[in-house]
Amino acid sequence: MTRPHPTKRPTDAAYLDERDDGTRDGDDGTLDPPRELLTLPWIDIHNHAHTLSWDDRERYALSGCRSMMMVASGYHWTPYKPVEADDIRFLWDDAINRREAIERNHFFEAKLGLGVHTGVRIEDPDELLAAMDDYCALDEVVAVGETGVVPSQHVERWGIEEQQAVVQAQMELARDHDLPVLLHTPNTSTDAKREYRDGLGVTPGYEKNAGLGADPVLDGDNPELEAVKRDVAAARDAGLPEERVVASHADANNTAYLMEETDCYLSYTIGHSWLVGVDAADVANAIDEYGPDRIMVDTDCANVLRTDPYALKRAIFELYRYGIDVDDIRQVVLENPRTVFGFEQ
Ligand SMILES: [Zn+2]
């Protein structure tokens, strides 16, 4: 028997304790805090943590990150435009150079994804692709990517067929090395409430000169979705099984297609929701509609934009609040990444 609270007058707690029908919180399972979520290990399959600060990587460790894949393929970190093959090679080597020190410092398992991103045109991509074979054989490389056809480039256009060929060549390498491919799927942008002042050039929150966007190379009704369809076509042509493709930046524009017409995994990027509009609610909706079997969550945290190393841990709590079962949360943030990328048990 619970004693009445010794408060001077009734408080919220008194009302919570006893309802009119005599039931109490907890009787129907409504208040049974999921304590296991406090210590549930999780895996971030898409970030650029090697570009973050030491303290940001420590935040991953503090909030329970067990493993991560650090992706070295972005043109954001090459100072020169257009980009040469060697510039991308430097990004791969930099990540290889630092990966083990990052594991020693922060204790989580840190693996690598290496790829050729087509967000900016790269001179001599064949030179890179030829070198990539040996990189794919490294133990620390657990995926190819991020890569994927992009409707419009930064600085200089890259023809759609040439892009698709570069994506397909990477998928052939992934097939040969039995590696998954991390796709960069283009997001549709959310409506801005207001335009920024002219002449700023750089997008606030994202260190990118928006004024250098080249004219699109895909211009249909839905270029972002068409880009994803071209990626899936490339996987099929490469003989890479669709279940070895993880489409990062899944969103409302590509979820139905990927779920209903392919066997790809979908990873929802929730580390920069302010930019792409995707958050834990989208993940919860997708789990409700399609089940947790092909769903993951990633942060895409990087030093070039406003991102949150705690985003995945926060999403774990938010998924529960949105009604997702603990077992389904565990599958999405831990088990699916392990199965696909081969992280440690
Ligand atoms: Zn990324």
Question: Over the stretch 315-324, which tens digit does the pLDDT of each residue have?
Answer: 999 999 999 9
Structural domain includes residue 179: yes
CA nearest neighbour of 74 among 261, 301, 285, 264:
301
pLDDT band at 68 (very low <50, low <70, confident <90, very high): very high
Q: What percent of the chain has pLDDT over 70?
A: 94
Tell me, in angstroms, the distance from the centre of ligand 1 to residue 73's CA.
Answer: 8
Tell me, in angstroms, the distance from the centre of ligand 1 to residue 24's CA.
Answer: 46
- Which stretches does DSSP call E strand in 115-219? 122-123, 141-147, 181-184
Tell me, in angstroms, the distance from the centre of ligand 1 to residue 146's CA.
Answer: 7
Tell me, in angstroms, the distance from the centre of ligand 1 to residue 300's CA.
Answer: 5
Here the CATH number for the domain that contains residue 223 is 3.20.20.140
Structural domain includes residue 106: yes
pLDDT tens, residue by residue, 80-128: 888 999 999 999 999 999 999 999 999 999 999 999 998 889 999 999 9
Model pLDDT, residue 252: 96
Tell me, in angstroms, the distance from the centre of ligand 1 to residue 314's CA.
Answer: 19
Highest mean pLDDT among 70-74, 129-133, 199-203: 129-133
Q: Which domain holds residue 77?
A: 39-187+196-341
Structural domain includes residue 12: no
DSSP at 242: G
Model pLDDT, residue 30: 59
Does residue 113 or residue 190 have the better pLDDT?
A: 113
Model pLDDT, residue 29: 53
How many domains does the chain fold into? 1
Residue 5 pLDDT > 80, yes or no?
A: no
pLDDT tens, residue by residue, 221-266: 999 999 999 999 999 999 999 999 999 999 999 999 999 999 999 9
Structural domain includes residue 10: no
Tell me, in angstroms, the distance from the centre of ligand 1 to residue 323's CA.
Answer: 28
Q: Which residues contact 161 (CB under 8 A, 6 or more apart)?
A: none
Model pLDDT, residue 28: 58
Model pLDDT, residue 18: 59
Query: Is residue 5 within 8 Å of 14, Cβ to Cβ?
Result: yes
Tell me, in angstroms, the distance from the centre of ligand 1 to residue 196's CA.
Answer: 25
Model pLDDT, residue 219: 85
pLDDT band at 183 (very low <50, low <70, confident <90, very high): very high
Tell me, in angstroms, the distance from the centre of ligand 1 to residue 117's CA.
Answer: 10
Tell me, in angstroms, the distance from the centre of ligand 1 to residue 44's CA.
Answer: 11
Query: Is residue 92 within 8 Å of 117, Cβ to Cβ?
Result: no
Cα 267 from Cα 168, distance rounded (Å): 20
pLDDT band at 273 (very low <50, low <70, confident <90, very high): very high
- Which stretches does DSSP call E strand in 27-162? 42-47, 65-72, 83-84, 109-114, 122-123, 141-147
Tell me, in angstroms, the distance from the centre of ligand 1 to residue 45's CA.
Answer: 10
Model pLDDT, residue 2: 60
Tell me, in angstroms, the distance from the centre of ligand 1 to residue 207's CA.
Answer: 14
Model pLDDT, residue 27: 56
Cα 49 from Cα 262, distance rounded (Å): 30
Tell me, in angstroms, the distance from the centre of ligand 1 to residue 148's CA.
Answer: 11
Structural domain includes residue 32: no
Tokens of 12: 């919220």
Average pLDDT, the chain: 92
Tell me, in angstroms, the distance from the centre of ligand 1 to residue 244's CA.
Answer: 18
Structural domain includes residue 8: no
Structural domain includes residue 274: yes
pLDDT band at 8 (very low <50, low <70, confident <90, very high): very high
Tell me, in angstroms, the distance from the centre of ligand 1 to residue 287's CA.
Answer: 23
Tell me, in angstroms, the distance from the centre of ligand 1 to residue 47's CA.
Answer: 6
Structural domain includes residue 31: no
